[in-house]
C-alpha cells in the first residue's frame, strides 16, 4: 500500500500526459508515458486513466497534474 | 553515439522504391541548428534540389521535433515540417501543436523524417513497431481526417500520434493542410497537397524508447522553477477554461461554456487549448473552438451551421482562410460577370451554409469551378485576367495575409506581425512575427522588459527603442524588431516549445539556453542559441532565394494602403509604401543581410 490514496477525475483530463512523463522519468530515468505506471487514453469525448500493478501510489503523477484530474490524500499509517 | 534530448536517428523514406533507411542523426546538425525547426531547415537545404516542383515526387516532406519534445518541459511538443509548398511555391516551414505525434515520433526512435518519391498506390507510414513499414492505405483513401485517425488508432492502438490528410490533400488542392491527431493544423500553403501527391495518407507513430536528459540535477531545478511560475500565474485557470477564446472571444463565454465538452492538450502542455465541443448535438473537434466559429466572421449567422461547415473543412483538411479568400474572390467575380453564372452555380454566398457546403465539397473534390478555386488566388487571377485584379483580396506570394484592416483577423496597426506577413520566407503567416507586438498599444515603457526576455541585446535595443536606457523610449523600430521576433520564434521552434503568447511568456532566452544544455549536453551559453537560430533563419531565406524569390516578392500589397489603411503602430496615422520600404531595409540590415537585396551570406558548407 502506498503513501497516498490517488483519486481520478477523468472528466478534467486533457491527455497532456505530464503524469506519465513524470512517472517514467522517476522509475526509468527516461521520458515516455508508455513506460509509466499510469496509463492515460483519451478516446474522443472520453478519457480513461488507470494504473499498472507496479504503481506504488507515490503520488508523483498527481504533483505534475495541472488540470485537477488527479488528487491525492495521505493514507493513515 | 549516446544521445540526450534527441532520439538520434533520421528516417529516410523513398515511396517510389518502397525503401526505408534509418540513418544516425548528425551531431553537427544539432550543434549548428539546434534541432526541430532549425534541423528541418537544414535538411531542406540538403534535400530540396532547387527548381523542384512542389507536387513532384522529388520534393521531400520533412518532419521534425526538437530536443525538448517528449520531455516534461511545459508545452514542448511542437512538430515542424518543411517542403516546397504548391500555393506559395516557397520552401516553407509548417508548424503544429504536436499533440501526441511529435513526442511519439521520438519515442519511436526518430527526430526527423525525410520522405521522398511517390507511391503507386495510397499508403501510410507505420512507425509503431520494431521497424518502420509502408502500409496500404486503400481503405483510408477518401476518408476525412477524423475518420482516418480513428481507423488508424483502432488498428494500431492508442495512444499513438497521427499526422494525416483529408480529401483536399488527396486531390492536391493547393491549400490542403495536414492535421496532427485530428486536432492541430499543419501547413498553410499546401503541405497536405504535397503528401497527397505522394499518395501518402498518414504517418502513425508510437514507440517504447525513452528520451533522457544529460544533466538531471540541472533539469529538475529548471523545470521545478518553471512549473511553479506557471502554477502561480494568476490567469492560469482562465486560460485553461477559455483557451484562445480568452484573447479572441468570437462567441460569448456563456455560449462557449455550454458547448464545451472537453479541453485537450498537447503532450506536456499545462495550458491546453484544443477543443471538443457539442453544438445542437453535433460533436466537433478543433485546434481551438474559436476556429469553428470563423464562418461567422464572413456573415454566417447560425452558429450550428458555422460549426458544421468548419467541421467539413477540417475533415477535408483544407485551410479555412485560403478557402474563404479563393471562394470569396470567385464569388465577387461571378457577381461582376467575369465568371459566368453557369459556372458559379449555385451562387457563391459566404453567408449561406447551403452555398458554402456545396462549394467546400466542389473545392475539396475539384469539381467544376471548384477545381479553379482549389488552385488558389493566383490561378483564379491568371484565368480571369487583369479585369479581375480590382476584386483580388490582399495577396502575398499567392496567399492571403489574414491580418489586416479588411482581413479575417481585422487589425489596422502595423507591427512586427503585420510586417512579418511579407518578410517570412514561407509567405504570409502571423506566427513568426507576432510575439513582440502582441502588446499592441501598450506603452513603450513595457517593451524593454519584454524584449530582454526574448534575448534582444542592449545594443539592438538602442536601435529599436531609442531612449530606453533613460526609461523613456521615444520610438519603436518595427523593421529591426522583427529580426528578433524571427529569432525568438526559431529558438522556440527548434527546441520544440510552443510559441503561443500564453506559453512563451514563461520562457526567456537564458532559460532556453539552460534547458537546451541541460537536456542535450550541448553547450549553449551567451549568444550561442541566438546565433544558431539566426543561422537557421538565414538558411531558410537562402533556400527560397535559390528558388528565385527576392526583394520583388516582399512588396506589401497595394490594398494595404487603400481605405481603410494599415496605420503606424505608435501614431495611428496611415502608413505609406515608402515607410514600409524603410522597415524592410532596416530588417535586412539588422539581420546582417544585404540591405538592398535581402541576401544573407552563404553558409560555409
Q: What is the pLDDT of residue B342?
A: 95
Residue A27, min C-alpha distance to chain B (Å)? 12
Q: Is the pLDDT score of B340 beyond 90?
A: yes
Residue B311 is assigned to a structural domain of this protein: no
The verdict on B175 and B138 lying in the same domain is: yes
Q: Check CB contact under 8 Å for B210 and A64.
A: no
The verdict on B575 and B453 lying in the same domain is: yes
Q: Is the pLDDT score of B436 beyond 80?
A: no
Identify the residue among B216, B268, B498 best suited for mutation to test binding to A, counting A beta carbons within 10 A and taking the highest. B268
The verdict on B17 and B164 lying in the same domain is: yes
The verdict on B264 and B199 lying in the same domain is: no
Residue B113 is assigned to a structural domain of this protein: yes
Looking at the structure of chain B, the number of domains it has is 4
Residue B156, min C-alpha distance to chain A (Å)? 13
Of B100, B210, B227, the CB nearest to A30: B210
The verdict on B357 and B259 lying in the same domain is: no
Residues of A in contact with B101 (CB under 8 A): none
CATH assignment, A4-74: 3.30.70.20
The verdict on B348 and B199 lying in the same domain is: no
Residue A58, min C-alpha distance to chain B (Å)? 18
A10 touches chain B (CB under 8 A): no
A28 touches chain B (CB under 8 A): yes
The ipTM (two decimal places) reads: 0.97
Residues of B in contact with A21 (CB under 8 A): 71-72, 267-268
Residue B502 is assigned to a structural domain of this protein: yes
The verdict on B148 and B199 lying in the same domain is: yes
Identify the residue among B236, B260, B265, B274 best suited for mutation to test binding to A, counting A beta carbons within 10 A and taking the highest. B265
How high does pLDDT run on average in chain B?
95
How far, CA to CA in Å, does B577 sit from each of B411, B554, B562, B565, B568? 18, 12, 11, 11, 12
The verdict on B479 and B351 lying in the same domain is: no
Q: What is the pLDDT of residue B437?
A: 61
CA B95 to chain centre: 4
Cβ–Cβ under 8 Å, residues B410 and B294? no
- Residue B326 belongs to domain with CATH number: 1.10.569.10
Nearest-5° angle of CA B271, CA B276, CA B282? 160
Question: What are B120-163's pLDDT values in tens digits?
Answer: 999 999 999 999 999 999 999 999 999 999 999 999 999 999 99
Domain assignments of chain A as residue spans, ordered by start: 4-74
Q: Check CB contact under 8 Å for A31 and B283.
A: no
Cβ–Cβ under 8 Å, residues B540 and B93? yes
Q: What is the mean pLDDT of residues A6-25?
A: 97
Last residue of a domain, one of B141, B171, B205: B205
The verdict on B504 and B452 lying in the same domain is: yes
Residue B2 is assigned to a structural domain of this protein: no
Cβ–Cβ under 8 Å, residues B220 and B155? no
Rounded to whole angstroms, how far apart are CA atoms B40 and B63? 7
SS3 B127: strand
Question: What are B468-507's pLDDT values in tens digits?
Answer: 999 999 999 999 999 999 999 999 999 999 998 889 999 9
A50 touches chain B (CB under 8 A): no
Rounded to whole angstroms, how far apart are CA atoms B369 and B341? 11
Domain span at B378:
320-391
Task: Please list, in sequence order, all residues whose beta carbon lies within 8 angstroms of the beta carbon of residue B9, skipping any fewer than 6 positions away.
Answer: B22, B23, B24, B25, B109, B110, B111
Q: Check CB contact under 8 Å for B212 and A29.
A: yes
Of B72, B100, B263, the CB nearest to A31: B72
Q: Check CB contact under 8 Å for A17 and B71.
A: no
Q: Check CB contact under 8 Å for A16 and B268.
A: yes
Q: Check CB contact under 8 Å for A18 and B72.
A: yes
- Residue B452 belongs to domain with CATH number: 1.10.599.10
Amino acid at each position: 500500500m502506498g503513501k497516498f490514496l490517488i483519486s481520478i477525475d477523468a472528466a478534467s483530463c486533457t491527455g497532456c500526459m505530464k503524469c506519465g512523463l513524470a512517472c517514467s522519468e522517476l522509475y526509468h530515468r527516461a521520458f515516455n508515458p508508455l513506460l509509466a505506471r499510469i496509463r492515460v487514453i483519451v478516446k474522443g469525448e472520453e478519457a480513461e486513466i488507470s494504473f499498472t500493478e507496479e504503481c506504488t501510489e507515490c503520488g508523483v503523477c498527481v504533483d505534475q497534474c495541472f488540470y485537477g484530474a488527479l488528487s491525492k490524500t495521505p493514507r493513515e499509517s | 553515439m549516446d544521445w540526450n534530448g534527441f532520439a538520434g536517428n533520421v528516417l529516410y523514406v523513398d515511396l517510389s522504391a518502397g525503401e526505408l533507411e534509418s540513418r544516425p542523426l548528425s551531431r553537427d546538425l544539432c550543434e549548428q541548428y539546434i534541432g526541430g525547426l532549425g534541423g528541418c531547415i537544414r535538411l531542406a537545404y540538403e534535400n530540396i534540389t532547387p527548381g523542384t516542383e512542389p507536387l513532384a515526387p522529388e520534393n521531400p516532406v520533412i518532419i521534425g521535433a526538437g530536443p525538448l519534445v517528449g520531455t516534461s518541459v511545459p508545452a514542448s511538443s511542437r512538430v515542424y515540417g518543411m517542403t516546397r509548398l504548391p500555393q506559395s511555391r516557397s520552401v516553407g516551414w509548417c508548424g503544429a501543436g504536436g499533440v501526441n505525434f511529435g513526442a511519439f515520433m521520438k519515442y519511436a526512435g526518430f527526430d526527423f523524417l525525410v520522405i521522398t518519391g511517390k507511391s503507386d498506390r495510397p499508403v501510410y507510414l507505420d512507425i509503431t513497431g520494431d521497424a518502420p513499414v509502408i502500409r496500404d492505405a486503400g481503405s483510408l483513401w477518401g476518408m476525412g481526417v477524423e475518420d482516418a485517425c480513428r481507423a488508424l488508432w483502432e488498428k494500431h492502438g492508442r495512444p499513438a500520434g497521427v499526422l494525416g490528410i483529408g480529401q483536399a490533400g488527396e486531390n492536391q488542392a493547393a491549400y490542403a493542410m495536414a492535421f496532427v491527431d485530428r486536432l492541430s493544423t499543419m501547413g498553410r500553403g499546401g503541405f497536405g497537397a504535397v503528401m497527397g501527391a505522394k499518395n501518402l495518407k498518414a504517418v502513425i507513430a508510437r514507440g517504447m524508447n525513452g528520451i533522457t536528459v544529460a544533466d538531471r540535477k540541472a533539469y529538475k531545478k529548471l523545470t521545478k522553477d518553471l512549473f511553479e511560475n506557471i502554477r502561480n500565474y494568476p490567469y492560469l485557470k482562465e486560460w485553461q477554461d477559455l483557451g484562445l477564446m480568452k484573447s479572441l472571444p468570437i462567441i460569448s463565454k456563456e455560449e462557449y461554456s455550454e458547448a464545451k465538452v472537453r479541453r485537450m492538450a498537447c503532450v506536456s502542455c499545462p495550458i491546453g487549448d484544443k477543443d471538443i465541443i457539442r453544438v445542437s448535438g453535433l460533436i466537433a473537434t478543433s485546434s481551438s473552438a474559436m476556429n469553428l466559429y470563423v464562418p461567422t466572421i464572413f456573415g454566417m449567422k447560425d452558429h450550428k451551421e458555422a460549426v458544421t461547415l468548419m467541421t467539413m473543412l477540417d475533415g477535408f483538411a483544407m485551410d479555412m482562410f485560403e478557402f474563404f479568400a479563393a471562394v470569396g474572390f470567385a464569388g465577387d467575380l461571378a457577381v461582376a460577370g467575369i465568371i459566368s453564372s453557369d459556372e458559379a452555380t449555385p451562387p457563391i454566398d459566404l453567408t449561406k451554409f447551403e452555398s458554402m457546403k456545396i462549394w467546400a465539397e466542389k473545392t475539396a473534390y475539384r469539381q467544376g469551378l471548384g477545381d479553379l478555386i482549389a488552385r488558389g488566388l493566383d490561378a483564379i487571377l491568371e484565368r480571369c485576367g487583369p479585369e479581375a485584379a480590382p476584386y483580388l483580396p490582399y495577396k502575398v506570394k499567392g496567399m492571403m495575409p489574414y491580418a489586416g484592416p479588411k482581413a479575417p483577423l481585422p487589425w489596422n496597426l502595423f507591427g512586427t506581425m503585420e510586417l512579418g506577413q511579407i518578410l517570412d520566407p514561407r509567405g504570409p503567416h502571423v506566427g513568426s512575427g507576432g510575439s513582440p507586438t502582441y502588446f499592441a498599444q501598450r506603452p513603450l515603457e513595457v517593451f524593454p522588459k519584454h524584449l530582454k526576455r526574448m534575448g534582444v541585446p542592449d545594443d539592438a535595443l538602442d536601435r529599436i527603442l531609442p531612449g530606453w536606457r533613460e526609461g523613456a523610449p521615444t520610438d519603436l523600430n518595427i523593421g529591426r524588431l522583427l529580426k528578433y521576433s524571427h529569432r525568438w520564434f526559431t529558438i522556440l521552434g527548434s527546441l520544440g516549445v510552443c510559441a503561443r503568447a500564453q506559453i512563451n511568456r514563461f520562457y526567456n532566452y537564458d532559460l532556453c539556453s539552460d534547458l537546451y544544455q541541460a537536456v542535450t549536453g550541448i553547450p549553449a551559453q551567451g549568444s550561442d542559441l541566438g546565433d544558431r537560430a539566426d543561422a537557421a533563419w538565414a538558411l531558410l531565406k537562402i533556400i527560397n532565394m535559390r528558388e528565385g524569390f527576392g526583394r520583388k516578392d516582399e512588396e506589401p500589397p497595394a490594398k494595404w494602403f487603400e481605405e481603410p489603411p494599415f496605420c503606424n503602430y505608435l501614431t495611428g496615422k496611415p502608413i505609406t509604401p515608402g515607410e514600409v520600404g524603410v522597415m524592410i531595409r532596416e530588417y535586412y540590415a539588422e539581420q546582417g543581410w544585404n540591405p538592398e537585396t535581402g541576401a544573407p551570406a552563404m553558409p560555409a558548407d
